[in-house]
């Protein structure tokens, strides 16, 4: 797999610049993408910011994707665009492994009542249960289980060992990575003196279009209503989304984010790794929580939020921990002093 540099320039609508003025630069064959440090001949790289210029100057890449203001910094063939990072994102799709060909593996088990569209690939040992509807050009990976009455939109790709419980709805052009479970029961139990009584989860999970769900993600079905993942949302590996949560369109959740039930997150939000989100909250649009933050109350105003403390040397941390336990006493003493001062 590979492309001539001129073909890449045309695809990205980039200006091809050769420091030597050679007209042969467009014929350079590009076989892949790499970062500037590890790139070798035949690879193309990119510089997304001026702070990476010095790092990239020693690159062995055959060409670079850069912005107009950085042209003078390099003497190798360049593809000049306004946004190098976005150009890299577009170009990466040219080098991805080809989708598997349409066809149904002989070992796949498909219910007679399931509807399979044209151009669908069903991998080895996949199971598709009764009433499932699989739209055109969908990929069902090996050992994946598609439950009864599930619907999957066109162009969606399920990697191996994905499990979709009954009645789950997946939109078009989605990607669900290996090991993810969509539609498992939410954590619902009624406590009694003799133990817990299970509350059966009667809703489902509805996933919009162009959603990507990472590996080993668990999204619970709703108890009565539905859990919803709106179009354009991106969910990293090892995320848990509890029952009846709503993820707004184009919101991104990084690895190990955990959400308790019935929380609603707005559009274009982002939550860093290991953010914990309590249940029954409403999070506004354009809210960004930094890694390991604890979101314990609703957020009505867009902005960047954080909580917790950074790593410190152990002796300092122990002193600070001891002083933290003294804060309540200190507050009471300061409050008493202020009252005495007010009387004077």
- Which residues does the annotation mark as catalytic? 243
CA distance 266 to 269: 6
Closest alpha carbon to 220 in 163, 273, 297: 163
Closest alpha carbon to 91 in 34, 173, 168: 34
- Give the other-Cβ count within 10 Å of 76's Cβ: 19
Closest alpha carbon to 272 in 256, 249, 296, 248: 256
Closest alpha carbon to 213 in 226, 227, 225: 227
Q: Would you say 163 and 177 are in contact if contact means Cβ atoms under 8 Å apart?
A: no
Q: Which residues pair with residue 151 across a beta bridge?
A: 133, 169
Secondary element (H or E) of residue 318: helix 314-324
Closest alpha carbon to 33 in 2, 54, 68, 79: 2
Secondary element (H or E) of residue 334: helix 327-343
Q: Would you say 229 and 235 are in contact if contact means Cβ atoms under 8 Å apart?
A: yes
């Amino acid at each position: 797999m590979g492309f001539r540099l001129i073909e890449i320039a045309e695809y990205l609508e980039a200006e091809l610049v050769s420091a030597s003025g050679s007209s042969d630069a467009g014929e350079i064959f590009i076989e892949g993408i790499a970062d500037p440090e590890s790139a070798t001949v035949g690879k193309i790289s990119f510089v997304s910011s001026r702070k990476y210029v010095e790092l990239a100057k020693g690159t062995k890449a055959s060409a670079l994707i850069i912005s107009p203001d950085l042209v003078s910094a390099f003497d190798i063939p360049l593809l000049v665009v306004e946004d190098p990072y976005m150009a890299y994102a577009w170009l990466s799709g040219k080098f991805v492994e080809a989708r598997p060909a349409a066809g149904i593996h002989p070992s796949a088990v498909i219910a007679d009542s399931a509807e399979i569209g044209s151009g669908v690939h069903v991998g080895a040992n996949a199971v598709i249960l009764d009433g499932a509807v699989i739209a055109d050009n969908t990929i069902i990976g090996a050992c994946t289980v598609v439950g009864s009455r599930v619907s999957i939109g066109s162009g969606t790709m399920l990697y191996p060992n994905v499990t979709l419980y009954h009645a789950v709805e997946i939109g078009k052009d989605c990607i669900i990575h290996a090991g993810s479970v969509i539609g498992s029961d939410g954590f619902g139990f009624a406590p009694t003196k003799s133990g817990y009584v299970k509350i059966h989860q009667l809703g489902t999970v509805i996933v919009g279009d162009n959603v990507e769900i990472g590996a080993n993600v668990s999204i619970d079905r709703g108890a009565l209503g539905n859990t919803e993942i709106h179009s354009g949302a991106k969910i990293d590996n090892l995320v848990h989304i509890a029952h009846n949560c709503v993820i707004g369109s184009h919101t991104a959740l990084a690895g190990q984010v955990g959400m308790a039930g019935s929380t609603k997150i707005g559009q274009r939000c982002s939550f860093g790794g290991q953010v914990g989100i309590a249940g029954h909250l409403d999070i506004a649009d354009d809210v960004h929580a930094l890694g390991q933050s604890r979101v314990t109350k609703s957020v009505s105003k867009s902005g960047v939020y954080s909580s917790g403390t950074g790593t410190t040397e152990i002796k300092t941390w122990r002193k600070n921990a001891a002083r933290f336990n003294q804060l309540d006493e200190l507050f009471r003493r300061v409050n008493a002093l202020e009252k005495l001062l007010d009387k004077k």
